Amino acid sequence: MIGVTVLGSTGSVGVSTLDVLSRHSEQFRVVALSAHRDSARMAEQCRRYRPLVAVMVDEEAARDLRERLADRPEGPRILAGRAALETVATLPETHYVMAAIVGAAGLPPTLAAARAGKRVLLANKESLVVAGALLMRAIAESGAELLPIDSEHNAIFQCLPPNFGEGLPAVGVERILLTASGGPLREWPIDQLDQVTPEQACAHPTWAMGRKISVDSATMMNKGLEVIEACWLFGTSTERVQVVVHPQSVIHSLVQYQDGSVLAQLGNPDMRTPIAHALGWPLRLDAGVAPLDLFKVGHLDFEEPDLARFPCLGLAFEAARLGGTAPVILNAANEIAVAAFLERRIDLPGIAAVVAETLEAMPREDVSGQDLAFLLDVDQRARVAAEQQVRTRAARR
């Protein structure tokens, strides 16, 4: 039996992962689950999937979970706090770790799983944005496996030859085409974007996602972070990555080869497909996803991204080119700005403004040879600086 720990089990990716695992109970066992504070859903998951360990980051939520499961003396063992995430990511019973915690908070347990030699199913793109060199070094040194879960990167992985680690030019790859839906605001008048509500920004036309990721999709910061992630995953630079707006979200990404060939991975927009691919790789598993009906799809559209509408995408490309701590600052500032938008403290265009102002205010530092503590310190300083920018903008409204 293959033991699986699901970090972020109550989120959309975590729920989809458990659905796939339940279809293959003869092959996989749920060893541990983690969540931030949704103790009600965690209690339901514990009763259904019977993990050995359950982690609630929030202490009060952990107490509530113990009360909800008081009638189950057989377990699970309930742990609390962020340090417990690293504990369950490295359990000897765990072979695969689904890293689905949103934001920089998912970095320490993801890195711990990599250092412990686990198969890391990476749905937490911030781990590579904030600590790409550190994580890739840990993977190489421990012999761990890193398989991408983001539908775009998983699609690219499926379209590349097995030896892509030799370098994309060496295996005949010209460039990676990273698709983006364009989100719910693709056709909004630019001069009315300051009127967008959190509910409208979260109303994604094709994907069901959490609120933070939904806002990132609306600003296309999500795609910018994915550009940085792709550079680390596939050992390339931004010059070989192109973003293509594809509203139908049927082609999940493409790889263009030097001989003129373009390989694409297609499927219905359902996260269970990349999850099942990573769980079963190099074999294929039933994901419970309906087959793609091309006659129903009818047509596929493609557009260039409008950087005037989506300035966050341009900021991400710039941070990737600058390197050093710039991606760390970009990610931290975006998390603060998105939270402020969801709290209605700033408007939607304010997200890009806060990120740009924070990048300008903070010095760019070299990350060569730096450890996790250094990166987390930069992350924290960037959050403080971004919050100051938020307060300044909020005071003007």
User: Distances in Å between the alpha carbon of 148 and those of 11, 127, 160, 177?
Assistant: 17, 12, 13, 16
**Is residue 103 marked as binding?**
no
Q: Is 223 annotated as a binding residue?
A: yes
Which of 67, 238, 228 minimizes the C-alpha distance to 133?
228
> CA nearest 323: which of 374, 354, 368?
368
Structure tokens that stand for 129 in this block = 């944005």
Q: Is 334 annotated as a binding residue?
A: no
150 is in an annotated binding site: yes
The answer to whether the annotation marks 11 as part of a ligand binding site is: yes
End-to-end, the C-alpha distance of the chain in Å comes to 57
> Is residue 12 marked as binding?
yes
Is 81 annotated for ligand binding? no
In contact, 100 and 124? CB cutoff 8 Å: yes
Rounded to 10 deg, the angle between the 272-280 and 151-159 helix axes is 50
Q: Beta-carbon neighbour count of residue 74 at 10 Å?
A: 6
In one-letter notation, the amino acid at residue 62 is A
* Residue 214 assigned to a binding site: no
Query: Is 10 annotated among the ligand-binding residues?
Result: yes
Residue with tokens 């939904």: 214
* 357 carries a ligand binding annotation: no
> Which two three-digit tokens encode residue 40?
């009600």
Is residue 151 a known part of a binding site? yes
Query: Is 124 assigned a ligand-binding role in the annotation?
Result: yes
Q: Are 300 and 285 in contact (CB under 8 A)?
A: no
Q: Judge whether 113 and 90 are in contact, CB under 8 Å.
A: yes
210 labelled binding-site residue: yes
**93 is an annotated ligand-binding site residue:** no
Residue 253 among known ligand-binding residues: no
H-assigned helices in the chain: 12-22, 39-49, 59-68, 83-89, 107-115, 126-142, 151-159, 198-201, 211-219, 221-233, 272-280, 294-297, 311-322, 326-342, 348-361, 372-396
95 annotated to a ligand binding site:
no
Q: Is 282 exposed, middle or buried (0-12, 13-18, 19+ CB in 10 A)?
A: exposed
Q: Which residues are annotated as a binding site for Mn(2+)?
A: 150, 152, 226
Q: Which residues are annotated as a binding site for 1-deoxy-D-xylulose 5-phosphate?
A: 125, 151-152, 181, 204, 217, 222-223, 226
Q: Which residues are annotated as a binding site?
A: 10-13, 37, 124-126, 150-152, 181, 204, 210, 217, 222-223, 226
Q: Which residues are annotated as a binding site for NADPH?
A: 10-13, 37, 124, 126, 210
